[in-house]
Amino acid sequence: MRLMPAFLSGIRINHCLKHLRRPRIAGGLLGLTLGFGGGACGPAELAGDTWTLCESHGSAESGNGLSTNGLSTNGLSTNGLSINGLSTHGLSTTGFSNWFNQDPARADEIMRYIIRCAAKGNQQRKYTNPVTGVKYTWEGGLGLAHNWATGAPATVQEEEIVSACLAAHANKFGIPVAISVLGRNARGAALSYTEQELSTFSEREACFFGNLFDGTGVFAATDRGYLREDESSVRACGLPSNPAQADCLPIIHAGTCESLCQRAATEALPFDRDADKKNPPTHGEPPYYETCTYNGRTFQPLTTRLQPQDIHHCGDGVCQFTERCGDGVAAGSCQADCGPCPY
């Protein structure tokens, strides 16, 4: 599924995501509150630590747009959505209203991304803030958690795949990048893709998995090996230069997809597509992972791919955002592109 850049949203993500709790009472997908809510977590302390989530446009396209130094889990245990669902009922509870009105602007952004990950592209959710009277409309997109999106309590599978969706669309630097996201929804149906998409997004990037609702956290692993010294990318959460440089909290770098994950053995039929647009064969195996196991627990992941031009090379004549001045040939000291540093 192709994800195209749209616009930056401005949501800030703090570093408490991995501390999410899953209560027996109302708690929810909003429980991953991407950046606010009452509790121990505050704003991010690290300057420049921003990521992006994709804006969705229908079931097949979405664009990076969430700046991320606020992906927090505070509030998920009080908004009620994982128990009450993403239906009108779930959005009308006192718990959701209290959560939303702690910071309406940020809550609006968070809900936009949650609905776009969970609900299908032909769906939307409307909400009128009972405190301010302001009306909101949030569009569906990827359709990864249909039952939860239509009012049922979130299953573990739905929690995991939506968590993976949010992590996969995180961008440390807040710069839009078009990506391809592959995998299956919570019911086992494959995200649709084409041979053209696989050809355009020919660089394997990463796999993302975890659970933001039960305290487990979210994880990323590289699917192509670590970047060489002369390479760099704004997608540093999934594609770091080495494990020590994967500074993308709350996303934890877990290693390589090959060592942690099992590729899908058979192709699941895509959803929301005509029969003649079924996913094409890919040399005997689907181009995504079906499960990833970390710290003894198995998760349902999402797999991402990049376009070649989004992996930058020192010496290509352009001083990229991810490159620095210096007298060397590495991304952090790239004289050919950025020149020598003034001293």
- In the chain, domain spans: 2-310, 315-343
Give the mean pLDDT of 186-201.
Answer: 92
Q: Is 225 helix (H, G, I), strand (E, B) or coil?
A: coil
Q: Can you read off the two tokens belonging to residue 142?
A: 């990827």
Tell me the per-residue pLDDT of 298-338, one tens digit each, with 9 for 90 and over.
Answer: 999 999 999 999 999 999 999 998 999 999 999 999 999 99
Q: Can you read off the two tokens belonging to residue 295?
A: 């710290």
pLDDT at 236: 84
Distance of CA 83 to the CA centre of its chain: 22
Sign of the alpha-carbon dihedral angle for 262, 268, 270, 276: positive
| DSSP label of 230 | T
pTM for this prediction: 0.76
Tell me the per-residue pLDDT of 169-179, one tens digit each, with 9 for 90 and over.
Answer: 877 777 778 88
Tell me the per-residue pLDDT of 58-102, one tens digit each, with 9 for 90 and over.
Answer: 333 344 445 443 344 444 444 667 777 788 888 888 888 988 998
* Residue 2, pLDDT above cutoff 90: no
The secondary structure element, H or E, covering residue 329 is strand 329-330
In angstroms, rounded to a whole number, what is the distance separating the alpha carbons of residues 18 and 333?
33
Longest dimension (CA), the chain: 63
On average, the pLDDT of the chain sits at 75
DSSP-assigned letters across all residues of 296-343: TEEE--EEEEE-GGGSEETTSS---TT---SSSEETTEEHHHH-PPP-
pLDDT at 332: 93
Contacts of residue 225, Cβ cutoff 8 Å, sequence gap at least 6:
256
Residue with tokens 């084409």, as numbered in its chain:
194
